[in-house]
Amino acid sequence: MLYSNTQAQVINMDLFRSKLVAHSISLNDEKICFVFATSFQQCPGCGTTAINDRIQKLRKFFPTALYILLVETDDSREIEGNSINTSSDYTFADTVGYIRNVLKAKVIPELYVLTGNGRILFHQNDIPHSSFDTKAIRDSITTRFSENQSVLLKEKTGFIQVINSVALNSNHDKLALVDLAQNKIRVFNTVSGEQEFTVLSSDTLKYFFRKDKYDRDWQLLEQMGAGLVDFAGICFAHNSDTLISIAALFSGYTLDTIIRIKNGKPDSTEQARWQKQLVMISSFNGRITEISHVPQDNNWLTSLSSVDDAYTFTGLSGGIYAIAGTNFMAHSDSVFMVGRYHTKSKRMEPFLSLNNIISSCKTVSFNPGFQGSIASSIASPEIFYLNIWNSIFMIASANGSAKCVEPKGILKDNMRYENINPQQIAMRADTFYNAEITRNEKGVVVIMTKRNTTKQIVKVVIQSYSLNGEFIREDSLPIPEDDYLLDARIVGAWSNKIMLLCKWKKMRWDVETISLP
């Protein structure tokens, strides 16, 4: 589990507020302060090396926190006239006995981890002679987060190896995922962790486009390895437990005769070329209720979101994706990265064109291999679109208007165009390559993960943006050191909560509901 809860003592923070106001910094419960308390009356230089070491290590996990050196002294001018070589953000004088009477310090120098409202999350005295436990400090800071829950998924019908798309219903008690290895959709109860039902690649789906039910070539092609059904994006219908999924179904094939010359003699073999078409599948409690052909030439749908009777998806459309060596920038008015399918009229309409993206975000290069992530909501007609490796973050409306969102923090640092295969990005270490978004009532939530050389996730970052695209906050989620985090996907967000689906090396898959500040 990513978080734990503890009780915290609360102290008066007026001393810090009065000193920080001159620096235009306000304190609230969302702000974390690392306060290092020392004394000129005892030994002003004692512990400086240890303090700097702790600040350097803590900044890696909490770059936006405040680092304050509080010095006990009889006269504040003593600090002004002395050089204290620490890497703290601010150095303040304590001439009123705050360290002794409020913090209750005993063996100086000491470390206090405080919220802006005065909750003591962590305390360590005698810094130079105490071990530095980063895990204890990181765990203590999670006291800002309350009512966190972790529920293990019960993998009774087979282990989940790799997932594609995930979805959460409006009651937040059903989680759907695409199990790529078993090629099926599995739905779990987020309260009990029990698997409730599955949607399988049944014969109804496999042979949906087969004109002749006696055509045995289809069975033979399946035996040869032709994937007759490939599940892609999934979501729940608005205010319903009806599960909507997009799948690419086998629709036909052509046989090519390949002639090779061996030892001066021709040798011919037949090679099948498979065609697939997209369908939208409605199911309830695992039973398929409707299959609709999606009449559009998209190459793939990787993200799906519901708004009333319409479903928004990402994917390339316009037909030119199949042309080798296509210059997408030259055909920007014909390429649509986001579309919307209306279930009542069975109509597909373009939503966001590459031309919209270019004009709004000043895009100069585009790699179609990175299709991005979308987030929409019944609360507003706009959608958010994030494509980190094409350096795109924007809001778009069905009327064609669009505006670029200015990324902040770690997202800004990792927004860049990459002219490589997406699989190469996934193989990189020490880079944030996975960025997904979801909607809540206030705006959009972004999750980013960073891996090391062993593919272990070493950092999870959550950002929030308003409905207008204004940056709200960024949080790094501490990861326990007694297990390996292998995958982390954002499932949904509502109110001040987010739900993550995490894969651990020891614990396997769990659903984590986290309350943000």
Q: For position 146, what pLDDT does the model report? A: 42
- Can you tell me the mean pLDDT for 455-481? 85
φ/ψ of 214, rounded to 5, equals -95, 5
The answer to whether 169 and 198 are in contact (CB under 8 A) is no
Residue-wise pLDDT tens digits, 144-161: 444 467 888 998 888 888
Beta strands in 345-483 (DSSP E): 347-353, 373-377, 380-387, 392-396, 402-404, 432-439, 443-451, 457-466, 471-477
- Can you tell me the mean pLDDT for 335-344? 69
CB count within 10 Å of CB 311 equals 25
Confidence of residue 446 (pLDDT cuts 50, 70, 90): very high
* 61 Rama class: left (phi>0) / alpha (psi -120 to 50) / beta: alpha
Q: For position 45, what pLDDT does the model report? A: 63
Q: Average per-residue pLDDT in the chain?
A: 78
- Can you tell me the mean pLDDT for 439-460? 86
Q: What is the gyration radius of the CA atoms in the chain, in angstroms?
A: 28
End-to-end CA distance of the chain: 18
Residue 3 clears pLDDT 60, i.e. is over it: no
The answer to whether 183 and 227 are in contact (CB under 8 A) is yes
Q: For position 144, what pLDDT does the model report? A: 42
Confidence of residue 129 (pLDDT cuts 50, 70, 90): confident
Residue 384 clears pLDDT 80, i.e. is over it: yes
Q: How far apart are alpha carbons 256 and 26 in whole angstroms? A: 71
Q: For position 34, what pLDDT does the model report? A: 93
CB neighbour list of residue 254: distance below 8 Å, 6 or more residues apart = 272, 273, 275
The answer to whether 462 and 516 are in contact (CB under 8 A) is yes
Please provide the DSSP assignment of 240-257 as one string: S--EEEEEEEEEEEEEEE
Q: For position 318, what pLDDT does the model report? A: 45
Token pair recorded at residue 279: 């369908």
Q: How far apart are alpha carbons 423 and 453 in whole angstroms? A: 15
Token pair recorded at residue 61: 């996990």
CA distances from 6 to 121, 124, 243 (A): 8, 16, 38
Record the pTM: 0.66
- Can you tell me the mean pLDDT for 35-50? 77
Confidence of residue 414 (pLDDT cuts 50, 70, 90): confident
CB count within 10 Å of CB 90 equals 16
Q: For position 84, what pLDDT does the model report? A: 66
Q: For position 4, what pLDDT does the model report? A: 34
State which of 52-61, 143-152, 169-178, 321-330 shows the largest mean pLDDT: 169-178
Q: How far apart are alpha carbons 363 and 390 in whole angstroms? A: 8
Peptide bond into 109 cis (omega under 30): yes
90-94 and 66-72 beta bridge pairing: parallel
Three-state SS for 36?
Answer: strand
Beta strands in 285-346 (DSSP E): 287-293, 304-307, 310-317, 336-342
Q: For position 147, what pLDDT does the model report? A: 47
- Can you tell me the mean pLDDT for 419-425? 63
Nearest to 290 by CA among 243, 252, 349, 233: 243
Confidence of residue 111 (pLDDT cuts 50, 70, 90): very high
Residue 221 clears pLDDT 90, i.e. is over it: no
Residue 315 clears pLDDT 50, i.e. is over it: yes
Residue-wise pLDDT tens digits, 61-83: 777 789 999 988 888 877 765 55
- Can you tell me the mean pLDDT for 231-259? 81
Q: How far apart are alpha carbons 480 and 138 in whole angstroms? A: 9
The answer to whether 236 and 244 are in contact (CB under 8 A) is yes
Beta strands in 452-507 (DSSP E): 457-466, 471-477, 485-494, 497-504
Residue 319 clears pLDDT 70, i.e. is over it: no
Q: For position 150, what pLDDT does the model report? A: 82
Q: For position 517, what pLDDT does the model report? A: 66
219 or 435, which is more confident?
Answer: 435
Residue-wise pLDDT tens digits, 186-208: 999 988 889 999 998 888 888 88
